[in-house]
Every structure is written in C-alpha cells, then in structure tokens.
Amino acid sequence: MRELQETIKSYRLGAGTTMHDEMIPGTEPGSQLKIRIIRPAGLPEKAPMIMDIHGGGYVSGNLDIDNYRNISLAEMTPAIVVSVEYRLATRETPFPAQLMDCRTAYLWLHDHASEIGGDPEKIGIHGTSAGGSLSAGLSLYLRDQGEPLPALTVLMCPGLTLDQTESKLMFGKLGMPAESYYDEIESIYTAPDGNPVSYYAMPAYCRDLKDLNPHMIVVAEYDPLRDEGLQYASRLLSAGVPTEILCAPRVTHGFCVVDQPLTRWVHRGVAASFRREFGMRIKEF
C-alpha cells in the first residue's frame, strides 16, 4: 500500500505543466478550502476547467490520490484541472458538508475563473467512487438551485444507491462485511436529526433526472458498484440527458488510480468527451 501511495504522489508532470495548492474561502464563515491547480503548457487565455472530486468512501482520501489522473486529464484535454479537498465525513461533519464544500469550490471556479486563466462557460466535473457520488449529487443540486451547470459530468465507478444489486451480490461490498457497511453508511449519510438519505447523497433515489447536463459514466466489470452506474446511465438516457456509458473490462473498483494501458485508454476517452462538450476540436492521441 505504501508503494502505491508513493507511486501516486510521485507521478511526474509533463514539460511545462505546473501544479500548486491554493486556499479559497470555505463553506462555513471564516473557513478555508484547499484546492490543487494543475495547468499544462500552451493553454489559451481563457482555458476550459475541470473540477475533480476525489474518492475514499466520504471518510478518507485526499488530493494526492488523484494526482496521476488529474495530470493526465489536464495534459490530454488540455485544460486546467482543479481538485478540491472537501471535509471528510465524520459524525460531527456528516453529509451534506462534503457536497457543500464541492459546491463552494465549483462556484468559486465559476466566479473567479479569470484569476486562474479559466473560462467560466467551460467547466466540467469529474469524480471517482465517492467523488463520483458527489459529482452526480452536485449536478442535481446545481440543477435544482438554478445555478450554472457543468458542460459535462464524468462519474467514474460511482456509488449511487444503498439498494442491493446483482454486482454487489457477485463481488461484495468493497471489502466490508454487510453489517459494518450499513452501519458506516448510516453514520455518513443520515442527518443528525434522523432524516432519510438525501438523493444528493445517493443520486439514484432522485425520481426526476430531466434537465441535467450531459453525463459520462464509467463502470468496471468486476466492481460491486457496476450495476448502479449502468442503471443510472440508462435512466439518464430515458430522461433525455445526453449520456455516455463505458464498462471497463476485467477490472474492479479503483482501477483508474494508477497508470496502466487500460487506464490510459479510459483517460483518453474521458479527455475526448470533455473536448467535445467544451467545443474543442477532436484530438489525435
């Protein structure tokens, strides 16, 4: 595990690509959020932007685990990629604190795009695992609040429902015994007053998916979360939402964290989809 973390942290930037951290105003008064900005060389004056939301089951993870992916997307698209270090879920900071932090970062990008050389009309969202859940929930929240929608939302192996599925039965629950899984989920997603799970936390519970922005959903063939991603994609299509679906073969949850041939192929496809929705020319890789 330590070797994996060192691989993730040490992924090298391409020639001319820069990466640095900044602090922006946080969701709560007086608080701050850390964001990481990756900017490849040769971008136009007003460049497209992609906001990345890391995974970790809401209770773990940080900006480092997405360095490889975000550098790849920044250089392949090319675009400014900004990742957000949202507050992790605890009993003291349950959902929706994580969603609100991501919304805060997204609206900051929209309102302050010129400060980092970005185009406020060309913002995408990308999230993996719990980050995919937050990306889907954020898109729903922005729609419901009448706030600017992203050009494209990419959900990579997202968790979208607490319901049982065939893939959960086949492949387990990401290594957790059933009792621990549901106890942990309840502490994360249930509000302190005992209200039921919000569809911003588990987007598959939203009955009306109309009027959402374009989506791309990537699932892994051997992932316990595979079926909920496929079902959500099907519902988006039925609701008239432009949607792409990709099932990565012979891999399980988290396959896209480190460099491998299939991961590079998937990232090229994601970058091409962002290019399309940003109105950029198709690029040969």
DSSP the chain: -HHHHHHHHTPPPPTT-EEEEEEEE-SSTT-EEEEEEEE-TT--SSEEEEEEE--STTTS--GGGGHHHHHHHHHHTT-EEEEEEPPPP-SSS-TTHHHHHHHHHHHHHHHTGGGGTEEEEEEEEEEETHHHHHHHHHHHHHHHHTPPPPS-EEEES----SS--HHHHHH-STT--HHHHHHHHHHHHS-TT-PPPPTTTSGGG-S--TTPPPEEEEEETT-TTHHHHHHHHHHHHHTT--EEEEEETT--TTGGGS--HHHHHHHHHHHHHHHHHTTPPP---
Is position 60 annotated as part of the catalytic site?
no
Check if 253 is active-site.
yes
**In the annotation, is 129 catalytic?**
yes
Chain Cα centroid distance, residue 120: 19
Q: Which of 66, 101, 119, 223 is catalytic?
A: 223
Identified catalytic residue from 54, 110, 215, 253: 253
Q: Which of 129, 133, 139, 198 is catalytic?
A: 129
Tokens of 63: 């900006």
Catalytic residue set: 129, 223, 253
